[in-house]
């Protein structure tokens, strides 16, 4: 199975956009109305929601789908709220051209968020996380590593300040210590 294949015609990118459109909407009937306004029928929405949620929770995918969704969702929220230009997903974004969506977290469910936060805290306490002030290298989609300094850390992501003055939230999976 291709974990990135659309579900009922809804790509992960489209699912993130729909999720941003549903920000704050918890009633299933109201959600159906909102996605209908976005051109998606309720049965397709329900199937996509179930399918993408299952892929995000699939341990065999090691959180890759959830991580990509989080970045896409944050970009969709930034566009919705007028915080800059539409962002490319992190995995496709070349560092020198566009900044990364800057806020962390997403709405795949409070239980999953709580689990992720608790697991992240456990891992950080066990092996030592990347702390504020650390000099790091960030793996970018162009295959290159760019130097920066960690300015904040939260929920498995770190904010990195780059020499050109940009500050970017990045999943810790793409960050390594720069060494001495």
Residue extents of the structural domains in the chain: 1-108, 129-180
Query: Looking at per-residue confidence, does 175 or 128 come out higher?
Result: 175
**What are the start-end ranges of the E strands in the chain?**
135-139, 145-154, 157-161, 167-171, 175-177
d(CA 63, CA 59): 7
Res. 128 pLDDT band, cuts 50 70 90: low
3-state helix, strand, coil in the chain (%, to 5): 45, 15, 40
For 25-66, how does the pLDDT look when each residue is reduced to its tens digit (9 = 90+)? 889 999 999 999 999 999 999 999 999 988 888 878 777 888
DSSP-derived 3-state class of residue 45: helix
Query: For the residues 82-109, what does the mean pLDDT come to?
Result: 42
Give percent above pLDDT 70 in the chain.
Answer: 73
**pTM score, whole prediction:** 0.49
Two structure tokens written together for 113: 């968020």
Instruction: Return the pLDDT at 117.
Output: 46
Hunting for tokens 């051209």 — which residue is that? Answer: 97
Asked: is 129-180 a CATH 2.30.30.140 domain? The reply is yes
């Amino acid at each position: 199975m291709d974990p990135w294949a659309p579900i009922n015609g809804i790509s992960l990118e489209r699912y993130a956009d729909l999720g941003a459109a549903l920000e704050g909407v918890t009633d299933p009937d109201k959600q159906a109305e909102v996605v209908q306004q976005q051109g998606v029928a309720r049965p397709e929405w329900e199937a996509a929601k179930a399918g993408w949620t299952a892929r995000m929770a699939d341990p065999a995918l090691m959180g890759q789908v959830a991580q990509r969704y989080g970045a896409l969702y944050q970009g969709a929220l930034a566009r919705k709220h007028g915080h800059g230009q539409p962002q490319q997903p992190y995995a496709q974004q070349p560092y020198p051209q566009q900044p990364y969506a800057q806020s962390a977290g997403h709405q795949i469910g409070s239980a999953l968020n709580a689990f992720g936060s608790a697991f992240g805290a456990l891992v950080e306490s066990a092996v030592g996380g990347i702390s504020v002030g650390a000099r790091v290298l960030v793996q970018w989609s162009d295959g290159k590593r760019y130097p920066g300094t960690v300015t904040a850390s939260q929920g498995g992501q770190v904010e990195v300040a780059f020499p050109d003055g940009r500050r970017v939230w990045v999943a810790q999976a793409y960050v390594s210590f720069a060494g001495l």
